[in-house]
Structure 1
């Protein structure tokens, strides 16, 4: 007879494995039989992924299932073979994934940039400074309230790189870690009167809803934010082939036209730059 205690142990080990193999799908686009899972953050939150996914699905009999995750989590899901592809903004991590062999088809798809926003009164005086590093140093010196996503997302990784360049290890009551996504953290900065480094796309879409915040610093090349797509190696997951075809679509003229024009009708300006523009900073 199979010992009850051993059976319980096997079940305890199996349940987390099953949970990990089924990441939560946030939204699906299309209704075709060729299903693939894509993990990303802001492009999904802001609606760009929906437009790209529906255009691709209509022509290819596909269904795109979006798993909402920041860059760090997205790459973890890809490495664990829990999704078929990712769209992320952490170039060094992308290169590492390709080098280690668990991701392929690195493709530059576009870019935006980061803005440092904060109270219009600008208590740390960052608006007059010449670089992001100087701005971060000033915030730390003043111990002005600063919000961090703290979630290993691409935004958090960029923030960490700027702190490191500034020679600052942020800590204390002024440094607030939200463990949340971009829009939610931006809203906290607005409601609680602090600084935050947001991507320009989210600001264009949501800035009108943040009346207590203003763009106080932008324009440093260090804050350019390039996006890449990565896919599973061929045959590694059921949707790998369809995911690779989707990356080709995003990089095509049709896909790039969608990216470079997205947001113009609703906000008066594009939320993202296309890959040709992004090449200058890649």
Structure 2
């Protein structure tokens, strides 16, 4: 049975809260036994973290450290948050801040942390029928694709990538639709395969594209901010624990241990060191000499706004 948070805090004293939030040894005792061996942590996360293989590299040290199992369920961000809001997840790793904010505002999530980032890129065939290669504006590139009625393959699944895609279409002043626009309801890896087969364009997170680049013929035509492209294509990831006050069945202690681990120097180093085809896919963001304390609350929130 999971350790109850109330009993844990009583045992560890008043300094326990900081320890829970900040270090990977949150449940450790003097002999190093975390007291959670044999338990399972359910993590709902995006297909991009799963398809790239990052989760395997990130979860293995945590599982060995605590003698636990991490059950990673790969879904689009919207579905991952919905699963968590139903109490079927302990911790969520996603990349759509507006959806994360809504999740927290509705009381389902607590202790959000910035985790890592990469960016989005617009990819397509080398022939580039819409002529978007090298454009400095993602919105202009989308507008050109729509004007040319060139094939565009969309996630169409309320994922973080789909949410970003809709933002770019809005910036472009285009409501996509018609035979040239295909919504698939599929994960990022499958969407890249479909776009490749059809010679179409799509919006992809850089990590998934790089992990599959050797197997497809699509090329990056519009870069994200990592390579000097528009900031609109930034792709930050966050991690949140499911609120045990809403769902008392969640393994909150183990969720906080996991958040502590992935935001610790050890977990952040795993993220920094992870590569595919010789390229870094994600960049750690949790540790900073000048931390952004707004990461813990919905964007734009302030004490005054609650009065």
Q: Secondary structure at the match of 2:283?
A: coil
Q: Following the alignment from structure 1 to structure 2, what is the Cα–Cα distance between the partners of residues 276 and 81?
A: 26
1:33 corresponding residue in structure 2: 38
1:268 corresponding residue in structure 2: 278
Normalization by structure 1: what TM-score?
0.84
Q: Secondary structure at the match of 1:81?
A: coil
- Aligned match of 1:172 in 168, 178, 190? 178
1:84 corresponding residue in structure 2: 90
Q: Following the alignment from structure 1 to structure 2, what is the Cα–Cα distance between the partners of residues 256 and 233?
A: 24
Please list every run of 5 or more consecutive structure 2 residues that lacks an aligned counterpart in the other structure: 1-35, 224-228, 296-307
2:270 corresponding residue in structure 1: 258
Q: Following the alignment from structure 2 to structure 1, what is the Cα–Cα distance between the partners of residues 287 and 136?
A: 23
**8 Å Cα contact 1:234/1:241 also seen in 2:** no
How far 1:277 moved relative to its partner? 8.8
Superposed, 1:12-91 pairs within 5 Å as 32-40=37-45, 41-91=47-97
2:159 corresponding residue in structure 1: 153
Q: Following the alignment from structure 1 to structure 2, what is the Cα–Cα distance between the partners of residues 143 and 124?
A: 8
Q: Secondary structure at the match of 2:56?
A: helix
Q: Secondary structure at the match of 1:202?
A: helix
Q: Secondary structure at the match of 2:92?
A: strand
More helix by share: 1
Superposed, 1:131-210 pairs within 5 Å as 131-210=137-216
Please list every run of 5 or more consecutive structure 1 residues that lacks an aligned counterpart in the other structure: 1-30
1:239 corresponding residue in structure 2: 251
Q: Following the alignment from structure 1 to structure 2, what is the Cα–Cα distance between the partners of residues 69 and 251?
A: 22
In angstroms, what is the RMSD of aligned CA positions? 1.8
- Aligned match of 1:214 in 215, 219, 223? 219
Normalization by structure 2: what TM-score?
0.77
1:108 corresponding residue in structure 2: 114
Q: 1:225 to 1:177 in 2, by over 3 A?
A: same
**8 Å Cα contact 2:115/2:284 also seen in 1:** yes
Name which of structure 1's ranges 48-57 and 145-154 shifts more when overlaid on structure 2: 48-57
The count of aligned residue pairs is: 248
**8 Å Cα contact 2:120/2:235 also seen in 1:** yes
Listed one character per residue, the Cα deviations across residues 3-30 of structure 1 (whole Å, up to 9, x for unaligned) are: xxxxxxxxxxxxxxxxxxxxxxxxxxxx
Q: Secondary structure at the match of 1:113?
A: strand
**8 Å Cα contact 1:117/1:217 also seen in 2:** yes
**8 Å Cα contact 1:36/1:240 also seen in 2:** no
Q: Following the alignment from structure 2 to structure 1, what is the Cα–Cα distance between the partners of residues 135 and 65?
A: 49
Q: Following the alignment from structure 1 to structure 2, what is the Cα–Cα distance between the partners of residues 80 and 251?
A: 25
